[in-house]
Structures are given as structure tokens and as C-alpha cells.
Amino acid sequence: MAADRTLRLQVPVAGRASAQLAVTAPHGAEDLDVSVSRLRGPGGALPPDAVTVRYPQFIPDEVHGGVVADPLREAETVDVAAGRNQAAWLTIEVPAGTTPGAYTGRVVVRDADGEIGRWPLRVDVPDVTLRDMADRPFVLDLWAHPDAVADHVGVEPWSEAHWRSLRPYLKDLAEHGQRVVDVAITEDPWMVEHEGEWRPQTWSHYRSTVEWSWDGSEFSFDYTVFDRYVEESRKAGIDGAIHAFAMLQFRGPELLNYTDTRTGERVREEVGLGDARYREAWTAFLRDFRAHLEAKGWFERTRLAFDERPAETMEVAFEVIAEADPAWSDKIALAANSLAEADLTEFVSFNYSFLDDVPDELIRQRRAAGKPTLFYTYYEPRLPNTVTASPPVSTRALGWVVEQRDLDGYLRWTYNSWPEDVYRDPSFRYGQGDEYLVYPGDDGPVSSIRWEVFRDGQDDAEVLDLARAELGEDSAVLRAALDGVDADSPDGPDAWARLLRQRAAVTDALGGHGVSVAVAAPEDSVAQGTTTEFEATVTATDEALEDVELALPAWPPEAVEVISPESTDVAAGESKTWRVRVAVPADAHNLVVLAGDVRANGARVGSFTWVPTVVAAVADGSLTAAPEVVAPGSRPVSSAVPGWRAAESRGGRRHGVSGGFPRVAAGMSAG
């Protein structure tokens, strides 16, 4: 990568973005270190922790073979074996209250032999402020698995050591916008038939947070662990609804698990759905549970939760609920696996596989009634999704699906249900990555590329939601953005370019002060080593603007030129168009992001962004038929955000890179 190449991101105030650098080392590299200087701009220097550098770790790839990069290690340095590639994952966070403008610094790459290279980093902060995660309307409902933490740390479940180990995971969920406390009120609610026996669908059990007891004549219940889990979740920042699993088993026969206080033995009793014993147990529980919740002040925020149960099965449970305690009848949450259960419950999450069949009118009616409506994914389809085989652009697009369908949020059936040794054998029963979004660490969660890119998509959803409120539902920019991103589109530069282009257009529109800017180009692609042009049309929306000009950062030096006009006045309600010439670097790959400001009388009044894909040029100057192919997100290091080329897993080389010294390529994901 040329030393004069500026690495550029757009990050709103109180927002964040991801970026990736990739180093290939034909003869290896010891103590590889990627560092970023303090970013300085109109508001001074951003805090030292505004940029975090982590290193994607390779684990076995059970889908395609070989290895795949996903866990993000926190380390001072890493070693790179000969012929291997190593990425560095950058997370840039712009604090609330930051003055908008351009913040610049440098990315420096070193190894034990000295400096490999350094590159300018520019973070454009538009005059757009995202809300605190707790204040956003996006409802995130990931089912945490506290037992998996105890099993991997090796501590007694619900001991003080377990609670200490749980807190970083609860904090991580809260920081990502988790709204729901999902809790097991029965032993192992998710039983399945696995290798000829009925057992939990995950490697770790789901231990009940409510202790059920039977003395031969009546049931009693101890809520000590349940109360502690809810309280720990609230302290971490998860203070929304409580969803209690499960009055119905996920698969197989209905079970009652309790301690027989006459003998002290644990009993697993099989009962029939709706039979006398089932009704006896659940009537006792529902009445006692309600009384306990009311005493704690939690009843109004608690729902009985069900997972993919068919309508006819749920109707039996609903009948039991109505007979036992009708106060529960309207307090139901469901992950719905068919349209037959579309409007049975207060809180519903629809399987993405049939989301297109869910009527817009149903979603509107539910919203008007104050009933949350989400969608969820499991292993299929792989895009959009968060599994290891999903292209990262499809993971990020999940936030766009929420806004496109005007939903309330996203649900996933697990956050951390790890297999026994997730780093060596990364799947238990389901496809790789379906069972977890983070990895276990020594003192808390280890993030993943999938988890970070999903978080970027949440910021996209926030930008779109702000645009809905500030620009209006019928805003042409908003409608074009929502229509312009296809969550089902295959991976590649085109998919990334479309998403980044639409995100930037909405952000630029939100950040304008009395001005709107539209960018147009003959094509959405440019050729390596050629010169092209685009137009930026500036409209004065509120009042006349004087001495209007485009401010374009050099990328690289001498590569961008405003052809005409240099500056001009723009009357209120009128528009003027600028022509800009761009020299595309010969080593550009996948896509480029070119951003600029609109200034009037020297003051910034707006911004614009152009994101074309890059195609290769042949000797006669004509273009190849299609952009270079980026390997799927499941391939080694190919989870790279746009702009850097995919790498081979072993002994490969990056196209266009040769020689025996470590080389660097970069990708920036406009935040």
C-alpha cells in the first residue's frame, strides 16, 4: 500500500466504526505491532482510548476447511509465521460532545526489525450525534447463557466466583443495546434429540434460576438465583423486560424437574401437555411467580417466553395460563417460526426466512398497540446472518432490515453457548458461529469480527432512525438508502459500496446546515490507474449561501481536483453543480471512499461522499467485466471490511504484493 494513501473513516459524534489492516509476511514477522497516534482535530485530541487495536485470531473453519479469522485478541504484539497473513482490527469511537470536523493521526506498523510503514488516518466527524445506546429504540434480544460461563471458567454455578465472571458478559451485552433479561425458570428448556438421546441443544446445560420443590402435596419455589440474576443484569445496564423460559419444552415431552423434599432426590418427571399433573404444577408456579414479581415490582415487565412452538401447542398452554392466572394471558413473548403464530403474543420475533410474508399492516398495527415486533436468524439462511460463514456485509445489513421493515429490533437464540473447546472445535450441534457471537476469555468476553460488524450495523440503524425523525418518512435520501441496500446480496465490493454509499448519503444529509448535496457519476465503478469525474450538486435549502466551495482532502496528493467552479454564490432554493476529477491509484482495490466538505464563507455547512467500486484496467484501457472477487466472509482473513484484498490461508500472497518484506493492505468501513 502506497505510503501516501490516507486511511479514511466517517464516524458521527457518539458513534463508532471498524477498520482493518492486513500484513502479509512471506518470511514471517516477530512482534508485529500496529499502533495509532492520538487523533487531533477542531475539538483538540480525542481520548487515548478512542482507538482500540486488536488482532483477529485464526480458528478451524468447519465450513470450508482450513482456518478462519474471527476472535479478536487483545495483545501488545503478535508473531506472524512465514507465508501467513495477519490482520489488525481497529475500532474507532468518537465520544459524545466531540466538535465535528476532520481528526487526523497516523497508523504505524512495526515488527522486531523496525518500522514497516506508516499511513495517514483521517476520521471525518459529521455534525450528527447518535443517541446513547440505552436511549435508542433498537431492541436487541440475545439469549445469554450464564451456565456456559461457569463451565468454561470452572466455577460452581451461582457461586460468587460465577457472578464475578458473569459481570463482564452482562456489561458487554448492555453496551451493545441488550434490552431483555432472558432467564430459565425450568431446568433445560431447550431439550433436543442428539446422537440418540434427549439432552440440551447446547454443550452446557441451562440450569433453572428457580428452585422447584415438591413435598408430596404441593409445590414450592425459591427465587434466590432468579432475583440475583435480574439484579446483576440491571446493574450492568440491562433494565428492560424479563423473559422467563419456558412453560413449554423446545422439543420432546414436557418435563417437570424438582427436588422431592421428602427424600432430597432430584426428580425429572415426564408429563403430558395440559394433563392434570402439568396443570397442577404450572398453576402453582404461575400464581406464586406473579406474587413474587409483584412484591419485587417486576411483574409489569415480565413475560412468559416460548421458542418456536406451534400455534396448536401454545393454545393448550394459553388455556392453562387463563385458568391458573389470567393476569399472565397478555404477557407472552414468542420466537415465531411460522405466520400461524404471527399475532398470538405481545412480544414477537419473526424468523427471517418468512419475514417477506409478514404484512406491513400487521407490523404497523402491532406498533400502534405498543407490541414489540422483531426478527431473528439462526444458521440458515447464511445471509443476512451472524454465523461464521456469513459475509460481514450481510451481518452489518441486519440493522438495515430492522429499518427497512420498520421493526423494533433483532433477536438471536444465543450469545455465548460455546462448545467444550471453542477455539479448537468451534461447533457443538449447529453450524459454526450459530451458537455464539463472542468467545470466552480469561476475564470476560473476547469479541469477534461478527460481533463488531453487527455493532456497526446497529449504528447504521440509528442513523436511519434519526433520518426518519429529522428528514421525514418520505425523505428522498432516506427512501433511496432503504431501497438501495439488499441484505440478501452476495458478498463483494459492490455490496459494501452500496451500503457505505447509502449510509454516507443519509449521514451527510443529517449533517447539512441549510444545504443538501447530491453526488452523481456516469458509473458506480472506476478503473485502476485511470482518471474519472463525478459531479456534486449543492442546493441552498434555507437561505442564500455566499462564496461556496468544495473542500476535498488530497487522496493521495494531487489525485483530486475541482475542475469548476472554484467558488460561487448559491441563492436560496437554487442549486449549483461542481465537477471533480479523480485520479484513481493503480493499486486501488475493491472500492474507494472519497469525502469532502461544502464550505460557505469559509465555514463548513455540509459534506458529501462518493463510494465507487474499483475494477481492473487492461492494457488497452478498457475495463474488465466485473470487480475483483472478494472471498466469502468465512475465508481466512476475508472478513475484512471493504478496501483490502482477501488473503489465502497458507503460503499465499496478496495480489500485487511481492518480495520478502512484510507488506500492508488496508480496509476502512465508514462508520
Residue-wise pLDDT for 530-559, tens only, equals 999 999 999 998 899 999 999 887 666 568
Q: 36 falls in which pLDDT band (50, 70, 90)?
A: very high
Residue 21 near residue 106, CB atoms below 8 Å: no
Region of poorest pLDDT, from 101-115, 429-443, 650-664? 650-664
- Whether residue 241 is contained in a domain is answered as no
Residue 193 grid coordinates: 434429540
Question: pLDDT at position 229, please?
Answer: 99
Question: pLDDT at position 556, please?
Answer: 64
Residue 176 near residue 448, CB atoms below 8 Å: no
Query: Do residues 564 and 648 both lie within one domain?
Result: no
The predicted model gives 149-176 an average pLDDT of: 98
Overall number of domains in the chain: 2
Q: Domain of 575?
A: 511-629
Is 70 exceeded by the pLDDT of residue 627? no
**CA distances, 149 to each of 156, 412, 419 (Å):** 10, 18, 11
Residue 213 near residue 221, CB atoms below 8 Å: yes
- Whether residue 345 is contained in a domain is answered as no
Share of the chain above pLDDT 70, in %: 90
Question: pLDDT at position 554, please?
Answer: 61
Query: Do residues 552 and 598 both lie within one domain?
Result: yes
Alpha carbon 655 to chain centroid distance?
30
Global confidence as pTM: 0.91
The predicted model gives 178-195 an average pLDDT of: 96
- Whether residue 18 is contained in a domain is answered as yes
Q: Which is more confident, 566 or 109? A: 109
Region of poorest pLDDT, from 38-42, 358-362, 464-468, 514-518? 514-518
- β-sheet bridge partners, residue 254: 271
- Whether residue 243 is contained in a domain is answered as no
Question: pLDDT at position 662, please?
Answer: 65
Question: pLDDT at position 661, please?
Answer: 52
User: To the nearest whole number, what is the mean pLDDT of the chain?
Assistant: 90
The predicted model gives 625-642 an average pLDDT of: 31
Question: pLDDT at position 581, please?
Answer: 93
Q: Encode pLDDT of 313-365 as tens digits.
A: 999 999 999 999 999 999 999 999 998 887 789 999 999 999 999 999 999 99
Residue 642 grid coordinates: 471493504
The predicted model gives 410-433 an average pLDDT of: 98
Question: pLDDT at position 398, please?
Answer: 99
Share of the chain above pLDDT 90, in %: 82
Q: 637 falls in which pLDDT band (50, 70, 90)?
A: very low
- Whether residue 437 is contained in a domain is answered as no
| Residues counted in the chain | 671
Query: Do residues 536 and 557 both lie within one domain?
Result: yes
| DSSP 8-state assignment for residue 395 | H
Query: Do residues 621 and 644 both lie within one domain?
Result: no
Region of poorest pLDDT, from 25-34, 198-207, 452-461, 559-568? 559-568
Phi and psi torsions of 286, nearest 5°: -60, -40
- Whether residue 115 is contained in a domain is answered as yes
Is 50 exceeded by the pLDDT of residue 630? no
- β-sheet bridge partners, residue 41: 44
CATH number at residue 594: 2.60.40.10
Query: Do residues 63 and 86 both lie within one domain?
Result: yes
**CA distances, 80 to each of 57, 59, 390 (Å):** 11, 15, 26
Is 90 exceeded by the pLDDT of residue 304? yes
Query: Do residues 551 and 649 both lie within one domain?
Result: no
Query: Do residues 608 and 540 both lie within one domain?
Result: yes
Query: Do residues 572 and 653 both lie within one domain?
Result: no
- Whether residue 26 is contained in a domain is answered as yes
Query: Do residues 34 and 126 both lie within one domain?
Result: yes
Query: Do residues 570 and 657 both lie within one domain?
Result: no
Question: pLDDT at position 654, please?
Answer: 28
The predicted model gives 299-310 an average pLDDT of: 97
Helix, strand, coil share of the chain (percent; to 5): 25, 35, 40
- Whether residue 442 is contained in a domain is answered as no
Query: Do residues 119 and 32 both lie within one domain?
Result: yes
Query: Do residues 575 and 664 both lie within one domain?
Result: no
Question: pLDDT at position 262, please?
Answer: 98
Residue 653 grid coordinates: 500472497
Q: Which is more confident, 243 or 629? A: 243
Classify 406 in phi/psi space as left (phi over 0), alpha (psi -120 to 50) or beta. Answer: left
Residue 358 near residue 408, CB atoms below 8 Å: no
